[in-house]
């Protein structure tokens, strides 16, 4: 009986080590490097390059609004907002059009509070920075 | 990058001097444990000091470096002083290792081989993920590293950001240990190199492995310590999350550090005052890392208070809690200041009304959804280990050694409280329950996983006990403590 118990114990240790060793499947992550399409749509590098001109134009203590009407899905819109925020640090980016300066991504124009002037635009990346003239 | 690494290594080295004790040189597991403790405490202390300095003085300078160095030396000195003021501790007795052989190779060597394999896989996975997402995964970009970048951009920018966090931040109420650690290193290096975020992530994951295996190895011997490390690195989600630059692995490391320190105090394997000071510090750092750390810190205080209340003498009731509270003081003060002065309200709390919360609590369907969701998350997080570990316990059985019993018990009590808290949060969340479970349940369970492994390997019989001749039961605490 003791021999059987020892054999079971050995089997249990081997089984545990094998289950743990199975975790080497994480090496699949290396393979992902080859598939460059795996970059997230909210890649900070892409957003940094896209918004470099806005960053260069605005003082670092600015606060701007941000709207992207080109995205329909709530999740995608949220990711787009957060990636924009990250790319524009230390400029504070609030969703919506309540700020005097509003960054608009996409072709559609959101309802603004009266008249506005375009401060900067980038047709290549499809964004416009507008200043709302009406007093808040 | 070298400067950033030194920014983590030097505080840890100073505190390691504080954690080191007589006779430790011969005990590799005690060194691993002290290293893990020094790593998490070093990052925690410097994070608190750096943020406090930023809020008080607004600017950085040589003065800060001097204050940080002195504070670390003072803490290390206090740790050493508490260690020598009480009985010195002997080396943990280990079970005999004579006949633990499988296929002509000792279990220890098998475990080392698997550990090396998993460590290599972990490093490769970490580097690949870092190359693919150098700024971290989704929450790192939306919350943790965003906060870090504002902190590193100077006081005025940070103040402007946090005062408008309700519109300019996502989860602006999340505590700042991780962002301020990254920001401190960015400030030291003078750039916002994303590799620093990855370095900090690797730092905490390594500390978690050292704490988990070092805690078990110190109390139960080499084979158990190695198997603990293998099991932790054998957890897929641990590997994946360690490179995400989220706060879950740092939080799990702080929770584990507190549980191990409490366990060592209960086992009388070290000076009780020192252990409780460390438990208080690390529980406080857990609260300063993530909101989930707050109930954890309360659970630690409640457990220690309950234990103290059972004592006969009044002085014995108050005395043990004092080092714990002393350790908690700095992070708790900062957290209270942050939460009440700077941070916007928490979305989960702000979304509650008495009637709505009661309705959610009375909904039987939500209990079912939470049970199913948590079960799925557990299977997804632990994968094969969820079935392998109970099977392993069924075959090996509980250890006959009394060593580690008290530590495992206190760890399981605190972690059970945390599990109940997590379930309670899911039950009452004002957000869509399915979405909340899907996006966070696995990470919440991962926060508890290292502690569960710590308790598991403390209580399961070691291979030495089942392979060969049955070793004599290792007696409990008093035998391990040698008076100076």
- Residue B263 CA to residue B151 CA, distance in Å, equals 36
Return the pLDDT at A1.
54
- Residue B16 CA to residue B283 CA, distance in Å, equals 19
Measured between beta carbons, the chain B residues lying within 8 angstroms of A33 are 128, 131-132
Asked whether the beta carbons of residue A29 and residue B129 sit closer than 8 angstroms, the reply is yes
Of A60, A45, A66, A56, which is closest to residue A91 (Cα–Cα)?
A60
Of B170, B231, B239, the CB nearest to A26: B239
Contacts of B302 (CB under 8 A, 6+ apart): B417
Reported ipTM: the value is: 0.88
Asked whether the beta carbons of residue B239 and residue A23 sit closer than 8 angstroms, the reply is yes
Q: Which two tokens stand for residue B190?
A: 């003078």
Q: What is the pLDDT of residues A41-100, one digit of tens each?
A: 778 888 998 898 888 888 878 889 999 888 888 888 888 999 999 999 899 999 988 888
In the stretch 435-464 of chain B, residues with CB closer than 8 A to chain A read: 463
Of A64, A61, A93, A63, which is closest to residue A80 (Cα–Cα)?
A93
Torsion of CA B410, B291, B139, B449, to 10 degrees: 10
> What share of chain A in percent tops pLDDT 90?
20
Torsion of CA B93, B99, B105, B108, to 10 degrees: -20
Residue A131, beta-bridge partner list:
A101, A117
Q: Which two tokens stand for residue B166?
A: 């309700």
A111 pLDDT above the threshold of 50: yes
Q: Is B409 part of the contact surface with chain A (CB cutoff 8 Å)?
A: no
3-state secondary structure of B425: helix
Say how many Å lie between the first and final Cα of chain B, rounded.
44
For testing contact with chain B, the best of A12, A14, A27, A46 (most B CBs within 10 A): A12
Return the pLDDT at B59.
74
Of B118, B132, B396, the CB nearest to A24: B118
Angle A15-A20-A22 (CA atoms, 0-180°, nearest 5)? Answer: 95
Q: What's the average model confidence in pLDDT over B366-370?
A: 95
Helices (H), B221-337: 222-233, 236-242, 248-267, 272-289, 293-309, 314-318, 321-337
Residue A129, beta-bridge partner list:
A103, A120
Asked whether the beta carbons of residue A20 and residue B167 sit closer than 8 angstroms, the reply is no
Which residue from A minimizes the CA distance to B106?
A10
- Residue B246 CA to residue B59 CA, distance in Å, equals 27
Of B14, B58, B57, which is closest to residue B35 (Cα–Cα)?
B14
Asked whether the beta carbons of residue A5 and residue B466 sit closer than 8 angstroms, the reply is yes
> What share of chain B in percent tops pLDDT 90?
64
Contacts of A1 (CB under 8 A, 6+ apart): none
Which residue from B minimizes the CA distance to A84?
B142
In which band, very low, low, confident or very high, does the pLDDT at B478 lie, cut at 50, 70 and 90? very low
Contacts of A124 (CB under 8 A, 6+ apart): none
What stretch of H or E contains B423? Answer: helix B405-428
Residue B460, beta-bridge partner list:
B398
Q: What's the average model confidence in pLDDT over B312-334?
A: 85
Q: Is B157 part of the contact surface with chain A (CB cutoff 8 Å)?
A: yes
Say how many Å lie between the first and final Cα of chain A, rounded.
85
Q: What is the pLDDT of residues B180-202, one digit of tens each?
A: 999 999 999 988 899 999 999 99
- Residue B151 CA to residue B272 CA, distance in Å, equals 37
For testing contact with chain B, the best of A14, A89, A101, A103 (most B CBs within 10 A): A89
How many residues are listed for chain B in this entry?
484
- Judge whether B317 and B309 are in contact, CB under 8 Å: yes
Of B401, B398, B403, B457, which is closest to residue B267 (Cα–Cα)?
B403
- Residue B210 CA to residue B228 CA, distance in Å, equals 10
Q: Nearest CA to CA, how far is B381 from chain A (Å)?
A: 12
> What share of chain B in percent tops pLDDT 70?
91
Return the pLDDT at B97.
47
SS (H, E, C) chain A: CHHHHHHHHHHHHHHHHHHHHHHHHHHHHHHHHHCHHHCCCCCHHHHHHHCHHHHHHCCCCCEEEEEECCCCCHHHHHHHHHHHHHHHCCCEEEECCCCCEEEEECCCCCCCCCCEEEEEEECCCCEEEEEECCCC
Select the highest-mean-pLDDT range: B368-382, B394-408, B463-477: B368-382
Q: Is B125 part of the contact surface with chain A (CB cutoff 8 Å)?
A: yes
Measured between beta carbons, the chain A residues lying within 8 angstroms of B384 are 19, 22
- Judge whether B320 and B86 are in contact, CB under 8 Å: no
Asked whether the beta carbons of residue B164 and residue A93 sit closer than 8 angstroms, the reply is no
- Residue B201 CA to residue B189 CA, distance in Å, equals 17
| Residue B250: half-sphere exposure toward Cβ, Cα within 13 Å | 37
In which band, very low, low, confident or very high, does the pLDDT at B483 lie, cut at 50, 70 and 90? very low
What does DSSP assign to residue B341?
A: I
Distances (CA, A) of B111 to B120, B464, B467: 14, 13, 15
Q: What's the average model confidence in pLDDT over B363-375?
A: 95
Q: Nearest CA to CA, how far is A21 from chain B (Å)?
A: 6
Return the pLDDT at A36.
60
For testing contact with chain B, the best of A5, A10, A11, A26 (most B CBs within 10 A): A26
Of B299, B303, B331, B334, which is closest to residue B424 (Cα–Cα)?
B299
Q: Report the range of poorest mean pLDDT among A27-31, B37-41, B63-67, B275-279.
A: A27-31
Q: How buried is B394 (Cβ within 10 angstroms: 0-12 exposed, 13-18 middle, 19+ buried)?
A: exposed
Q: Is B22 part of the contact surface with chain A (CB cutoff 8 Å)?
A: no
- Judge whether A110 and A67 are in contact, CB under 8 Å: yes
Chain A residue set in contact with B, beta carbons under 8 Å: 5-6, 8-17, 19-27, 29-30, 32-33, 38-40, 42, 44, 60-61, 63, 79, 82-83, 85-86, 89-90, 92-95
Q: Nearest CA to CA, how far is A26 from chain B (Å)?
A: 6
Q: Nearest CA to CA, how far is A94 from chain B (Å)?
A: 5
Sequential DSSP letters for B160-218: HHHHTHHHH-SSTTS--HHHHHHHHHHHHHTS--THHHHHHHHHHHHHHHHHHHHHHHH
3-state secondary structure of B99: coil
Size of the A and B interface in Cβ pairs below 8 Å: 142
B347 pLDDT above the threshold of 90: no
Of B125, B149, B235, the CB nearest to A27: B125
- Residue B275 CA to residue B215 CA, distance in Å, equals 13
B272 pLDDT above the threshold of 80: yes
B273 pLDDT above the threshold of 50: yes
Of B26, B66, B72, which is closest to residue B46 (Cα–Cα)?
B72
Q: What's the average model confidence in pLDDT over B15-40?
A: 87
Q: Is B385 part of the contact surface with chain A (CB cutoff 8 Å)?
A: yes
Q: What's the average model confidence in pLDDT over B440-457?
A: 96
Which residue from B minimizes the CA distance to A93?
B168
B473 pLDDT above the threshold of 50: no
């Amino acid at each position: 009986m003791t021999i059987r118990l020892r054999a079971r114990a050995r089997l249990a240790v081997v089984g545990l080590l094998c289950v743990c060793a199975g975790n080497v499947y994480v090496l699949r992550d290396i393979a992902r490097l080859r598939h460059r399409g795996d970059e997230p749509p909210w890649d900070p590098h892409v957003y940094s390059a896209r918004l470099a001109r806005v960053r260069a134009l605005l003082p670092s203590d600015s606060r701007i609004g941000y709207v992207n009407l080109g995205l329909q899905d709530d999740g995608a819109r949220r990711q787009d907002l957060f990636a924009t925020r990250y790319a524009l640090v230390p400029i504070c980016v609030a969703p919506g059009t309540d700020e005097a300066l509003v960054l608009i991504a996409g072709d559609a124009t959101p309802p603004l509070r009266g008249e506005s002037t375009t401060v900067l635009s980038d047709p290549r990346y499809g964004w416009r920075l507008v200043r709302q003239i009406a007093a808040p | 990058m070298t400067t950033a690494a030194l920014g983590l290594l030097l505080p840890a080295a100073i505190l390691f001097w504080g954690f080191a004790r007589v006779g430790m040189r011969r005990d590799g597991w005690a060194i691993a444990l002290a290293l893990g403790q020094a790593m998490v405490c070093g990052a925690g202390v410097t994070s608190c000091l750096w943020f406090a300095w930023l809020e008080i003085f607004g600017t950085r300078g040589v003065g800060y470096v001097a204050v940080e160095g002195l504070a670390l030396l003072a803490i290390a000195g206090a740790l050493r002083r508490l260690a020598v003021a009480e009985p010195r501790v002997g080396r943990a007795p280990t079970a005999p290792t004579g006949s633990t052989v499988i296929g002509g190779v000792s279990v220890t060597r098998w475990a080392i081989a698997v550990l090396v394999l998993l460590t290599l896989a972990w490093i490769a996975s970490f580097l690949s993920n870092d190359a693919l997402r150098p700024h971290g995964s989704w929450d790192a970009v939306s919350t943790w590293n965003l906060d870090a970048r504002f902190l590193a951009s100077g006081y005025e920018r940070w103040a402007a950001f946090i005062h408008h966090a309700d519109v300019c931040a996502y989860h602006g109420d999340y505590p700042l240990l991780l962002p301020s650690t990254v920001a401190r290193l960015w400030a030291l290096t003078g750039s916002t190199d994303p590799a620093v975020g990855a370095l900090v992530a690797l730092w905490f994951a390594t500390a978690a492995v050292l704490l988990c295996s070092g805690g078990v190895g110190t109390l139960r011997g080499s084979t158990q310590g190695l198997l603990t490390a293998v099991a932790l690195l054998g957890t897929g989600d641990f590997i994946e999350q360690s490179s995400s630059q989220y706060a879950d692995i740092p939080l799990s490391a702080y929770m584990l550090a507190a549980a191990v320190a409490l366990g060592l105090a209960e086992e009388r394997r070290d000076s009780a005052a020192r252990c409780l000071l460390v438990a208080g510090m690390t529980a406080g750092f857990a609260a300063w890392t993530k909101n989930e750390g707050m109930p954890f810190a309360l659970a630690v205080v409640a457990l220690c208070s309950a234990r103290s209340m059972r004592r006969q003498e009044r002085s014995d009731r108050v005395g043990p809690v004092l080092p714990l509270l002393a350790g908690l003081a700095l992070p708790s003060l900062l957290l209270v200041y942050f939460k009440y002065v700077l941070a916007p309200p928490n979305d989960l709390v702000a979304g509650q009304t008495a009637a709505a919360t009661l309705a959610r609590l009375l909904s039987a369907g939500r209990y079912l959804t939470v049970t199913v969701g948590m079960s799925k998350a557990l299977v997804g997080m632990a994968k094969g280990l969820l079935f392998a570990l109970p099977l392993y316990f069924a075959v090996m059985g509980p250890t006959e050694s009394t060593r580690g019993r008290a530590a495992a018990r206190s760890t399981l009590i605190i972690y059970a409280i945390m599990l109940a808290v997590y379930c309670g949060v899911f039950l009452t969340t004002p957000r869509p329950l399915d979405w909340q479970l899907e996006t966070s349940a696995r990470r919440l369970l991962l926060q508890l996983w290292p502690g569960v492994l710590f308790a598991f390997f403390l209580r399961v019989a070691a291979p030495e006990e089942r392979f060969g001749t049955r070793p004599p039961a290792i007696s409990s605490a008093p035998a391990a403590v040698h008076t100076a």
